[in-house]
Chain A
């Protein structure tokens, strides 16, 4: 791989051991994937934050990196942690977990990564420009950045996104190059898409059918922002999709039309979506209802608030969002309306990365196929339905 003189110097340690380590990682991966060179990136979104996933191993590595003096040189945001950093005790998170989690966040802060603790950095001000190179981890955010915003990122991991944050660079391969952004399969959507849940189900089905092939969807209708974010989250979970195109929906779709001839076609019907829903829905008696995978937009928090305002809940209802959206929802009165009814609006975390087993959870009801798949993997019983239906079921 070609390195500029400046990059050679960074690798050799001219900007300190932290940058040198980061360069070593980027160069090794560049070599593995046949990158010709490194390319500047405008922002990083760093995953590997929950102490549940990192454990002592990841924490030690992060503290070591912080100790080497590495600092972010581009805007770097952070994925959700395993708990609300303020209200963790009320969530039922154990003390020793909280201690580990605090050390993780402290290490990231020492490296200049903003503790945004959200999977939706694009809803709190980090919005990549079309065509720009970024280094994002978090599969749902990768899908959103590549597909909806038309920016360019690979499926970065915790260590690679952090290495890009402290160097401002990433190896140039795969989705960073035009030739790898063309669709590999045509997905003809004949299913009726109304609620965001339908888009989540579609993403889940598409990921299962396509693996990591880039889909070109036809028949998506006019999806809302919420539908776009949940579609990508689901197809990155059931498959390894990092980029999708939607006819009349995503910015690069028009340019992909010449590549459609001869593409293999799959059709998704109502029945496919129903089957997906059945797979992740079992009998539940007293589930915790979770809305916010990916983290809620202001509109989603508002919808929950309207449904529960002035009423009383008979079951636990937890809404997950970012600090940024929480502040806006607070101003609109949504947070108060939800909490007065007995619900909770937590920030910094979600049902995917919180230590649900240690918190004593057995059943969960959600409006997200991504969230449901992860909860099922943790051994919880799950139910999938629309936010509207689930929230209504929590009312006394």
Chain B
């Protein structure tokens, strides 16, 4: 299966999908040291986003979250790429400053079409996501 979407930050990544139906706050919601989602009650609380193709609807919470994405990249705990349904400024800013590939507005309902554990190839420059 191939999905096409909008490039926000270019780059290339391959990895395992982690799909969250809930929006994500990187500030206070993810532990940058480990890459584990820590927000209580969150759909993927306890899961690690490190090295994953992280799929979620959009960001939420404090704009400080942008810096957390940058910090995770430096620590090696950042996702390999992010796919949003419709991104917003916190995630977009974080991905630009950290250099994490980011796509949104794909031609399928991401949250339903992609399953956690699936292997994905993301060519953000071309706006393409391939399920391997």
A47 to B66, CA, bound (A): 13
**Nearest-Cβ distance from residue B25 to partner chain A, whole angstroms:** 13
With contact pairs A24-B96, A158-B63 given, residues A32 and B88 touching in the complex (Cβ less than 8 Å): yes
A341 to B71, CA, bound (A): 45
**Nearest CB of chain A from residue B76's CB, rounded to whole Å:** 13
Question: Secondary structure at chain B's binding surface: helix, strand, loop or mixed?
Answer: helix
Please determine whether B64 and A160 come into contact, CB atoms closer than 8 angstroms. no
The answer to whether residues A160 and B89 also contact, given A32-B8, A57-B32, A61-B97 and a CB cut-off of 8 A, is yes
Cβ B74 vs Cβ A159 within 8 A? no
Q: Which residue of B lies closest to A65 (CB)?
A: B97
Docked complex Cα distance between A48 and B97 (Å): 15
CB distance A29 to B64 under 8 Å? no
Inter-chain contact B68/A159, CB cutoff 8 Å? no
State in angstroms the CA–CA spacing of A77 and B92 once bound together.
24
Once the chains are docked, how many angstroms separate the CA of A48 from the CA of B94? 14
Query: How many residues of A sit at the interface, in one of the four size bands?
Result: 20 to 34
Which residue of B66, B71, B87 contacts A159 across the interface (Cβ within 8 Å)? Answer: B66
Tell me whether B66 and A28 are in contact (CB under 8 A): no
Determine the main DSSP class of A at the interface with B.
helix
Please give me the residue from chain B that is nearest to A50 by CB atom.
Answer: B64
Asked whether A61 lies within 8 Å of B70 as measured between CB atoms, the reply is: yes
Q: In the complex, which residues of chain B have a beta carbon less than 8 angstroms from the beta carbon of A29? A: 89, 92-93, 96
Interface presence of B12 (CB below 8 A): no
Interface string of B70-89 (1 = CB under 8 A from A): 11001000000000000111
Task: Check A48–B93 contact: CB distance below 8 A.
Answer: no
| Contact pick for B71, options A48, A53, A56, CB 8 Å | A56
Known: A28-B9, A159-B97. A58 touches B67 (CB 8 A): yes
Whether B55 sits at the interface, judged by CB under 8 Å, is no
How many Å lie between the Cα of A29 and that of B88 in the bound state?
8
Among B6, B64, B68, B96, contact of A48 (Cβ-Cβ < 8 Å): B64
A109 at interface by CB-CB < 8 Å: no
Residues of A156-178 contacting chain B, CB below 8 A: 157-160
A124 to B67, CA, bound (A): 29
Cβ A54 vs Cβ B64 within 8 A: yes
Q: Would B89 and A157 count as touching, CB distance under 8 A?
A: yes
- A55–B9 touching, CB < 8 Å: no
* B-side contacts of A21, CB under 8 Å: 97
Q: Does B19 contact A (CB under 8 A)?
A: no
B90 at the interface (CB under 8 A from A): yes
B1-53 with Cβ < 8 A to chain A:
6, 8-9, 32
Contact A28 B64, CB 8 Å, known A57-B71, A60-B71, A60-B74 = no
Once the chains bind, are A25 and B64 in contact (CB under 8 Å)? Answer: no
Pair A31/B8 contact, Cβ less than 8 Å: yes
- Contact string, A52-80, partner B, CB cutoff 8 A, digits 1/0? 01111110110000000000000000000
Q: Which of B32, B67, B95 is A61 in contact with, Cβ under 8 Å?
A: B67
Expressed in whole angstroms, the minimum distance between the Cβ of B34 and any Cβ of chain A is 14
Q: Please, how many angstroms separate the alpha-carbon atoms of A47 and B92 in the complex?
A: 18
B residues with CB within 8 A of A: 6, 8-9, 32, 62-64, 66-68, 70-71, 74, 87-90, 92-93, 95-97, 104
Q: Interface residues, chain A, CB within 8 Å of chain B?
A: 21, 24-25, 28-29, 31-33, 47-48, 53-58, 60-61, 157-160
17 contacts between A and B (CB under 8 A): A28-B8, A28-B92, A28-B96, A29-B89, A32-B87, A32-B104, A55-B67, A55-B71, A57-B74, A60-B71, A61-B97, A157-B63, A158-B63, A158-B64, A158-B67, A159-B93, A159-B96
Shortest Cβ-Cβ A-B pairs, 7 listed: A57-B71, A157-B63, A58-B67, A57-B67, A25-B96, A28-B96, A32-B92
